[in-house]
Amino acid sequence: MRLTHYLDKGASLGAERPCLVADDSALSYAQVQRLTYRVARGLVRDGVGAGERVAILSSNDPVAFACVFGISRAGNVWCPINPRNEVAENRFVLAAFDCRALLFHSDYAEMVCAMLPELPALTVVVCLDAQLPFAPSLAQWLDGLADTFYEREPLDDLVMLPGTGGTTGVPKGVMLSGRNLETMTALTLMGYPFDGRPVYLAFAPLTHAAGVLCLPIMTLGGRIVVMRHADVGAFLAEIERERVTHTFLPPTVIYMLLDHPRLASTDLSSLQCFWYGAAPISVERLVEALGKLGPMAQLFGQTEAPMMVSTLAPKDHYRADGSIATERLSSAGRPTPLVEVGVMNDAGQLLATGERGEIVVRGSLVMQGYYNNPAATEAASAFGWHHTGDIGYLDADNFLFIVDRAKDMIITGGFNVYSIEVEQALLAHADVRDCAVIGLPDAKWGERVVAVVQPRAGKQVDVAELMAFVKQRIGSVKTPKQIEVWPDLPRSKVGKVSKPDVKQRLRDDTAAG
């Protein structure tokens, strides 16, 4: 399936119904379709060949997201560019992914102007919302182009080329095919509740998980409410005003939501499915969310196997008697029906139930490979499985538990300590809002377990009392030898705690004495 098939399916269920909504404006399915015909004609007119890459640089914006489907209509490949990246990283991505065209919002005009001199292959540059000295506005660029049906055949099944992000070093281009996203969409529709026409609230960046989650919504003719700015109070207001049925947030924002003073007075009765994912969640705070937010639903995946490697649907958070199934809340759910999941050792042998090793996956959800990077592709697909870089195990009931990133495991005194287990113990404390656990060199232990915690608003963390609390839960070996209290934690461009930055700051503090 091309990306346009999701839009066109939604239009077939009601062309005049709202498709993309923001603030007080709305684009119907028919209006989005007509825009995509013109965008496709513009790309073809300006010599962007079938199969070439077209980038979009914008924060959440309905027109920017509508243009994604115009890129597909032209038989091109969508490259989502993270607006939170620095100039150098986005310049690298645009060059390394061989992008021929760039559509961008005027908020990022300064960034684009700084990048252009070093991007000679970028022959088409269009500003979505304004005319600039170096770029026409979208309205100017589309002037005179017909809005009747137009579509060009793609070269192959490659539809999307996102970059790996976070703390993985130089971004790699992940080649996602139409089949990959079709599998993801099918798994979403079969794994979660959808009653009637859904209303999806896009709070997280549309360049990431929030964007591809729009595809199953479109197949049902649903309405996508786009939040231009990330504000938790506005998020609550939109749920009530738009009668939102589905949304997605990472755990860090869920913690902010749970502490928000307007939460108790907000009507959340329309929610059918509140997705969470992208990072481990505190079990205690998840229990709180189940009581305050309603039907929570976890998803686990990565850019290379988007969203649906394993799932924990709303009903799976509860036992048969209706009580909360706390024993499985720290899991990532069960592997999805169309994905094989295994746990593998370094020799390529699949391990038995309960044994810990690297989580590996295979199936039609897994990417085609890394763009122009055969060495990285080969390494990630060793022994015929995609290697996630996560350490975990499958229990007797086939629930998948992720215990750490392989690179984050700490070996202290000869024992393996998994940072996620320590973080869960810290997050169980009433005064801790968020935390990061790392290993630092130690003359006695080889590595010592070190934690940095961020207190909840208005709370003070007693380090000695917190150490005793953690020791009682997980024992002395895993208890941090050092706990630092910071008002906030360094985060990646997508909001995840950046452990390399935490580690570097701690090393700098040690060196400074």
- Can you read off the two tokens belonging to residue 348? 């390529």
pLDDT confidence of residue 165: 64
pLDDT at residue 168, as a whole number: 46
pLDDT of residue 350: 96
* Number of C-beta neighbours around residue 230 at 10 A: 16
Asked if 335 and 341 touch (Cβ cutoff 8 Å), the reply is yes
What secondary structure letter does DSSP report for 454? E
- Encode pLDDT of 103-128 as tens digits: 999 999 999 999 999 999 999 999 99
pLDDT computed for residue 197 by the predictor? 94
CB neighbours of residue 128 within 10 Å: 23
CATH number of 231-405: 3.40.50.12780
As a whole number of angstroms, the distance between CA 76 and CA 158 comes to 9
User: Is 50 exceeded by the pLDDT of residue 167?
Assistant: no
pLDDT at 493: 65
What does the pLDDT average to over 13-33? 95
**C-alpha torsion angle, residues 168, 174, 179, 181 (rounded to 10):** 60
Closest CA to 371 of 53, 127, 55: 53
pLDDT digit string, tens, across residues 359-368: 999 999 999 9
Residues near 68 by beta carbon (within 8 Å), at least 6 away in sequence: 3, 56, 78, 211
Q: What is the pLDDT of residues 441-452, one digit of tens each?
A: 877 777 889 999
Model confidence at 205: pLDDT above 50: yes
29-176 has which fold?
A: Rossmann fold (3.40.50)
What is the arrangement of strands in the sheet containing 25-28, beginning at the earlier edge strand?
25-28, 18-22, 223-226, 199-202, 246-249, 273-276, 296-302, 305-312, 334-335
Phi/psi-derived region of residue 363, left when phi > 0, alpha when psi is between -120 and 50, beta in every other case? left
Q: Is 125 helix (H, G, I), strand (E, B) or coil?
A: strand
pLDDT category of residue 497 using cuts at 50, 70 and 90? confident
Angle, helices 251-258/283-292, rounded to nearest 10 degrees: 50
In the CATH scheme, what is the homologous superfamily, with its name and number, of domain 409-511?
A: ANL, C-terminal domain (3.30.300.30)
Q: How far is CA 511 from CA 168, 504, 505, 506, 507, in A?
A: 25, 10, 10, 9, 6
DSSP state of 349: P
Nearest to 358 by CA among 302, 403, 305: 403
d(CA 381, CA 384): 6
Instruction: Please give the distance of CA 441 from its chain centroid, rounded to a whole number.
Output: 32
Q: What is the pLDDT of residues 315-346, one digit of tens each?
A: 999 999 999 999 999 999 999 999 999 999 99
Query: What per-residue confidence (pLDDT) applies to 56?
Result: 96
pLDDT value at 224 more than 50: yes
Fold match between domain 231-405 and domain 409-511: no
Range in 54-68, 158-172, 267-281 with the lowest mean pLDDT: 158-172
Say if residues 497 and 491 touch (Cβ distance below 8 Å). Answer: yes
CB count in 10 Å sphere of residue 432: 25
Output DSSP code: residue 326. Answer: G
Query: Tell me, what's the pLDDT at 494?
Result: 65
CB 314 within 8 A of CB 295: yes
Kindly list the domain boundaries of the chain, sorted by start residue: 29-176, 231-405, 409-511
Strands 273-276 and 305-312: unpaired
Which stretch of DSSP H or E encloses residue 301? strand 296-302
The yes-or-no verdict on residue 513 having pLDDT over 80 is no
Residue 251 near residue 280 (C-beta atoms within 8 A): yes
CA dist 343 and 399 (Å) reads 12
Tell me the two tokens of residue 134: 């170096």
For residues 278 and 493, the answer to whether their CB atoms sit within 8 Å is no
* pLDDT for position 415: 76
| pLDDT for 32 | 98
Residues 511 and 513: their CA atoms lie apart, in Å, by 5
Q: Please, what is the average pLDDT of the chain?
A: 91
- Name the β-bridge partners of 359: 343
Residue 443 has phi, psi (to 5 degrees) of: -65, -35
Contact between residue 71 and residue 124 where contact means Cβ atoms under 8 Å apart: no
Q: In the predicted model, is pLDDT for residue 166 greater than 50?
A: no
Question: What pTM value is reported for the model?
Answer: 0.85
Q: Is residue 204 packed enough to be buried (19+ CB in 10 Å), middle (13-18) or exposed (0-12)? A: buried
